[in-house]
């Protein structure tokens, strides 16, 4: 499996980063994309540093990195910070620019500054020939940031012919359709396992199997049954299992259930969660069948790792 989005440089792994990476490898995660937003533009390089540090270690996943200025820190996207990003795109381990985009939920930076930083970073990514990873969160009860993001991507990214990921996708089926039309993949994270996410699961259910990725967004958004805890890439399987059941053929269903059992035992090995001890967990945490070939595709596609469009 691939964890297509994790913040491996987080301070929250300071005490046990190597062990955390070893648990991921042992759980079947062979590759992780480490998101390079740091604590702000000054530390965007940390994800790439980690990729270099662990290159060649056999018992941890292969680590790729991104670099970018998160919309929260758009107001810090100075000329110097953008130049720093430009030089990071030349590093061998850096395969994408991100996460970049718009966050109207927190509005930590003014919206016009968010749009400017988003636009400037799209230009840097295009010049480097790299895909982009989008962070998008609308105001509560609104789809405003999705609407603006997709409009900007249509106008400013589509002409490059390059692709990207909408990470932690929470938009509507219509947003998903537009994003796929723009050549984007949708990243699903632990929130797809939350009981209230039925609408999102239905959006995922209707997607073509080769149009999405699984991710943890670790250390955030831990999936059920570890919701609320520090997340880690070893738990990406809990996102995968939600995409693995097909209701349309008994053999697929059988193999999906086998992969759920495998995923479940690997999650249980990496956690002391009491709920894991309960054999009811696999059944209760999968509220609805999603798509058929999704598990296979989620474990094999890493389109974004390519420097070519």
Q: Is 228 left (phi over 0), alpha (psi -120 to 50) or beta?
A: left
Residue 163 interacts with Zn ion (CB under 5 A)? no
Q: Which is nearer to Zn ion, 3 or 217 (CB)?
A: 217
Q: Which is nearer to Zn ion, 7 or 62 (CB)?
A: 7
Q: Which is nearer to Zn ion, 136 or 301 (CB)?
A: 136
Q: Which is nearer to Zn ion, 148 or 245 (CB)?
A: 148
User: Which residue from 168, 227, 10 is spatially nearest to 20, judged by alpha carbons?
Assistant: 10
Q: Which is nearer to Zn ion, 217 or 232 (CB)?
A: 217
Residue 135 interacts with Zn ion (CB under 5 A)? yes
Strands 184-188 and 164-166: parallel
Backbone angles phi and psi of 258, in degrees to 5: -65, -40
Sheet containing strand 2-6, edge to edge, reads 2-6, 31-34, 62-67, 94-103, 132-137, 164-166, 184-188, 212-214
Residue 9 interacts with Zn ion (CB under 5 A)? no
Nearest approach, Cβ of residue 135 and Zn ion (Å) = 4
Nearest approach, Cβ of residue 5 and Zn ion (Å) = 6
Q: Which is nearer to Zn ion, 135 or 201 (CB)?
A: 135
Nearest approach, Cβ of residue 217 and Zn ion (Å) = 5
Half-sphere exposure of 177 (CA within 13 A, CB side): 4
Stretch that binds Zn ion, among 170-178, 213-221, 270-278, 300-308 (CB under 5 A): 213-221
What is the sign, positive or negative, of the torsion defined by CA atoms of 300, 302, 308, 309?
Answer: positive
Nearest approach, Cβ of residue 36 and Zn ion (Å) = 10
Half-sphere exposure of 71 (CA within 13 A, CB side): 25
Q: Which of residues 75-114 bind Zn ion (CB under 5 A)?
A: 99
CA distance 261 to 74: 43
CA distance 17 to 160: 37
The site that binds Zn ion (CB under 5 A) totals a number of residues, namely 3
Nearest approach, Cβ of residue 129 and Zn ion (Å) = 23
Q: Which is nearer to Zn ion, 8 or 242 (CB)?
A: 8
Nearest approach, Cβ of residue 41 and Zn ion (Å) = 16
Contact residues for 236 (Cβ-Cβ < 8 A; gap 6+) = 1, 2, 3, 24, 29, 214, 215, 216
Nearest approach, Cβ of residue 205 and Zn ion (Å) = 23
Residue 217 interacts with Zn ion (CB under 5 A)? yes
Q: Can you give the binding site for Zn ion, defined by CB under 5 A?
A: 99, 135, 217
């Amino acid at each position: 499996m691939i964890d297509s989005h994790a913040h491996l440089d987080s301070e929250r792994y300071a005490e046990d980063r190597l062990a955390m990476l070893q648990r991921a490898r042992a759980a079947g995660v062979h590759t992780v994309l480490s998101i390079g937003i740091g604590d702000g533009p000054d530390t965007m390089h940390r994800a790439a540093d980690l990729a270099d540090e662990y290159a060649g270690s056999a018992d941890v996943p292969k680590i790729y990195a991104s670099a970018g200025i998160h919309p929260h820190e758009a107001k810090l996207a100075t000329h110097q910070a953008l130049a720093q990003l430009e030089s990071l795109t030349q590093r061998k381990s850096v395969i994408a620019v991100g996460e970049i985009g718009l966050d109207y939920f927190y509005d930590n930076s003014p919206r016009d500054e968010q749009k400017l930083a988003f636009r400037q970073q799209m230009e840097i990514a295009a010049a480097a020939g790299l895909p982009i990873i989008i962070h998008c969160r609308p105001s509560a009860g609104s789809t405003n940031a999705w609407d603006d993001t997709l409009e900007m991507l249509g106008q400013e990214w589509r002409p490059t012919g390059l692709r990207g990921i909408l990470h932690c996708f929470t938009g509507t089926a219509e947003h998903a359709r537009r994003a796929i039309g723009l050549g984007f993949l949708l990243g699903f994270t632990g929130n797809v396992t939350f009981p209230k996410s039925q609408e999102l699961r239905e959006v995922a259910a209707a997607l073509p199997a080769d149009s999405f990725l699984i991710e943890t967004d670790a250390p955030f958004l831990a999936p059920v049954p570890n919701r609320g805890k520090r997340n880690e890439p070893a738990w990406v399987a809990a996102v995968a299992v939600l995409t693995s059941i097909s209701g349309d053929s008994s053999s697929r269903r059988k193999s999906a259930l086998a992969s759920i059992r495998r995923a479940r035992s690997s999650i249980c090995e990496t956690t002391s969660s009491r709920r894991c001890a309960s054999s009811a967990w696999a059944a209760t945490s999968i509220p609805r069948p999603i798509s058929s070939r999704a598990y296979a595709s989620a474990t094999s596609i890493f389109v974004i790792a390519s420097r070519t469009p």
